[in-house]
Amino acid sequence: MSFETLFELFTYPFVYRALVVGVLVSICAASLGVILVLKRYSLIGHGLADVGFAALAIAVVLGWSPMAISMPIVILASFLIMGISQNKKVNGDIAIGMIATGALSVGVIVTALGSGFNVDVYNYMFGSILAMNDGDVILSLVLSVVVISLFIIFYKPLFMITYDEEYGKALGIPVIQYQFLLSFLTGLTVVIGMRMMGTLLISSLIIFPAIIAKKLVKSFRMLIVVSGILSVFAFVIGMIFSFILDLPTGACIVFVNIILLILSTVFKKLIKE
């Protein structure tokens, strides 16, 4: 594919819409990813993605709207994970593991009882950014704006519960409520990103940019900014490569993130030396 053809491709409305949604999802995932990585909740994205797979499998088999069914189920699962994690006797990773594997098994069983892995299920598992219809785009845009707006509004308390929950409690911050807000925003982001990245890869948008940013900057504010920039960069480059090489977009985005992680690791070691 020539650069002229590639440039022309980005002038098509459906590609432009996919690009806008992808950038917003990347910003949402990267911003939340910083908090989740710092609080060691990074696997919650993977767990909720498995729940999303089970929800969309049920929706496809029953002929319902996958996004409409996935949203409440994934958000409820995020609350359940956070609720279990509040119990100091139960490790957060254990809660995520139990719910994720349970949901995945339900999704596989429902799919097997239905028509098997048809095109719709496949697209939601591995992502199909160009298969989004107008309804998916509008819903994704609205939810992205909600996530970004709430993150900005509650930035200070979210920062506080990330670094020092006990100090936050001493200041009168309702820590538990903000933890559930974090789980709610993560659930929304997973639902938004499932169509673009697929349930198997959406957690990469949450984990990789934050980890890479941690190698480059230290302050919380800069972590958010750099993570967002890296996430958008990886998305755009991955999307371009997917068009050029005719490969799945989600996998290309993850591959670009891996390259960035390797480069940042090498850069950090060179700086230390």
The 10s digit of each residue's pLDDT in 85-134 is 776 666 666 777 788 888 888 888 887 777 655 556 666 666 666 666 67
273 part of a folded domain: no
Query: Is there a domain that residue 141 lies in?
Result: yes
Would residue 135 count as lying in a domain? Answer: yes
The total number of structural domains that make up the chain: 1
Whole-structure pTM value: 0.85
Q: With respect to residue 143, please indicate whether it lies within any of the assigned structural domains.
A: yes
Q: Give a yes or no: residue 68 inside a domain.
A: yes
Residue 23, H or E segment: helix 13-38
The residue range of the domain holding 214 is 3-268
> Can you give the CATH number for the domain in which 169 is found?
1.10.3470.10
Contacts for 72-79: CB closer than 8 Å, 24+ residues apart: 74/48, 74/187, 74/190, 74/191, 75/184, 75/187, 75/188, 75/191, 77/47, 77/48, 77/51, 77/103, 77/187, 78/44, 78/48, 78/183, 78/184, 78/186, 78/187, 78/190, 79/180, 79/183, 79/184, 79/187
Span 10-49, pLDDT tens digits: 677 777 777 888 888 899 999 999 998 888 777 787 788 8
